[in-house]
Amino acid sequence: MTHSRRDFLRTAALALPQGLAAAGQAERPNILFIMSDDHAAHAISAYSDRLIRTPNLDKLGQEGVRCDRVYCTNSICTPSRAAIMTGQYSHINGVPVFNAFDPARPNVAKYLQAAGYHTLMIGKWHLGSNPTGFDDWEVLPGQGVYHNPIFYTATEEKEYPGYVTDITTDLMLQRLEKRPKDKPFFAMLHHKAPHRPWDPSERLGAIWRKRQIAEPPTLWDDYATRTDAVKECRQKVFDDMTRRDLKLVAPGNLQGKERNAWLQHKPDSVEIEVDGRKKTLTGMELKKWKYQRYMQDYLACCASIDENIGRVLEWLDKNKLRENTMVIYTSDQGFFLGDHGLYDKRFMYEESDRMPFLVRWPRGIKPGTTTSALGINCDFAPTFLELAGAPVPADMQGRSLLPVLQGKKPKDWRTSFYYRYYHDPGDHNTAAHYGVRTETHKLIYFWRRDQWECFDLVKDPQELRNIYADPAEQATVKKLKEELYRLKKEAKDTEDRFADSKDWPKESSYVSPKKQQNP
């Protein structure tokens, strides 16, 4: 063993969380990090039972801790994943949009691997380059597909028959069965679901198509008092969903580009069959149908996630790994489920920015715990490292959540965080913005439009009333601006890099023998 390697492991042993250091390295917890794509917290019944029951996900919170205020710092898939891997904001880790993550960069898997963990990555990687820091990995190319997906490794690719959520779980459980038993493991199980186009399994799709989904209270939001940004975006349930999103079947005589063009059309009328008779939907009737159609498929995909979480928890019990395995469930960001009439994410609004975060670790976390401490996705890597007894690098901008998860919120814990979204113009014409969220307020600046939004989250949790120009709120706005620019400086975001499209890194293609695309 080299001198530097001995020093690292000695430092790691000294840094073990209280109660673990005495037990020695062999007792360090396993870490199973499960992440879905676009799974809104309010589509988990541990957070809200309005839409769906998720008994297996709920079990994590019941037997561990439910975190109510964990947020991403840039609500879009690839940047959020880069922040999770590095513990850094987008402008530091080099992934502000859909550009490739530099595989030579340090990441949390590399640190844990160096600390003696067996590292695994299975599922949706979506970082534009092959995974590094993992002893074993098998991932989807790009977005992957829901049915009969291709997965690839460093040396080969294989098509698996079946549904992607089930297959991703199968592959992870197979790897865990074969893992070296003399090491703790760090395993990243990343699901594609419920990302657009929300293709459910045949079984769950049939079940959910028969259900009527409750409408959110802000579905018919008229955006009064808000800026142009939300009015001009193209991620609206009523106006921007395509025939592909709505699962309409293209005429049989269309092929290739003509078929794709037909599927990408945003219909203002739809013909459906009701009780054996054809009916054309338009206007309000069509709007309501679009919402139902969207949510039925989305929630069926979420149900598949919940079922597979149950399979994983059963496997841990069967293999006597329950007590000393920290299981984390999260999503790479939130998602609009008709809230404010929207789908997708990107905005700093609560439904889009808030991440579910459920954690079970019987040896170290009291069951039935909840916390409202503000967490961000940059905190995940420092949390894993502290749990493993490994030092947290100074360039990580997050902070370990471990004391918060154990009910010991430090007195100097953050009371605000900084957010920044870059992808403008993007697929949904969502305006670039940055902002600050405190425990009681939110201030958002759409810098290209020079327009502001401010919300009192105590009086207005649904973010319907922009108080930025209210004369009675100017003292509050002033304090929020001061905090915003303090955080911006603290995060070292001192220049408007990537403010113009010509400055953005080019979007990457994924490294795979074949490139699989959604139809």
52/100 same-domain check: yes
* 218, amino acid identity: T
* Residue 496 pLDDT: 62
Whole-model pTM: value is 0.92
The per-residue pLDDT for range 94-126, each reduced to its tens digit, is 999 989 999 999 999 999 999 999 999 999 999
Is residue 477 within 8 Å of residue 468, measured between CB atoms?
yes
E strand segments, 373-450: 375-376, 416-421, 433-438, 441-446
Choosing from 375, 396, 417, the residue where a domain stops is 417
396/467 same-domain check: no
What mean pLDDT, rounded, does the chain reach?
Answer: 92
Choosing from 367, 394, 417, the residue where a domain stops is 417
The residue whose two tokens read 């789908």 is 343
Give the residues across from 280 on adjacent strands.
Answer: 271
299-336 residues labelled b (16+ CB within 10 A) or e (exposed): bbbbbbbbbbbbebbebbeeeebbebbbbbbbbbbbbb
The residue whose two tokens read 């439009």 is 449
- Is 142 contained in some domain? yes
* Residue 515 pLDDT: 44
Choosing from 417, 435, 453, the residue where a domain stops is 417
Residue 468: CB atoms within 10 A of its CB come to 20
Is residue 362 within 8 Å of residue 19, measured between CB atoms?
no
d(CA 398, CA 143): 27
- Is 250 contained in some domain? no
d(CA 300, CA 249): 19
82/100 same-domain check: yes
Is residue 133 within 8 Å of residue 107, measured between CB atoms?
yes
Quote the longest CA-to-CA distance of the chain: 78
445/308 same-domain check: no
d(CA 71, CA 438): 12
Structure tokens at 185: 């493991």
131/178 same-domain check: yes
* pLDDT higher than threshold 60 for residue 435: yes
Range of the domain at 96: 28-199+295-417
- Is 497 contained in some domain? yes
* Residue 9 pLDDT: 40
| 60: nearest Cα among 368, 335, 455, 341 | 368
- Is 134 contained in some domain? yes
**How large is the average pLDDT for residues 142-165?**
97
Whichever domain contains 467, its CATH number is 3.30.1120.10
**How large is the average pLDDT for residues 126-135?**
97
Q: How many domains does the chain have?
A: 2
**How large is the average pLDDT for residues 378-397?**
98
- Is 489 contained in some domain? yes
* Residue 274 pLDDT: 86
85/194 same-domain check: yes
- Is 403 contained in some domain? yes
282 burial via Cβ count (<10 Å: 0-12, 13-18, 19+): exposed
58/130 same-domain check: yes
332/441 same-domain check: no
331/434 same-domain check: no
The per-residue pLDDT for range 60-79, each reduced to its tens digit, is 999 999 999 999 999 999 99
427/401 same-domain check: no
89/104 same-domain check: yes
Structure tokens at 340: 């404010």
58/174 same-domain check: yes
- Is 325 contained in some domain? yes
d(CA 505, CA 169): 33
- Is 272 contained in some domain? no
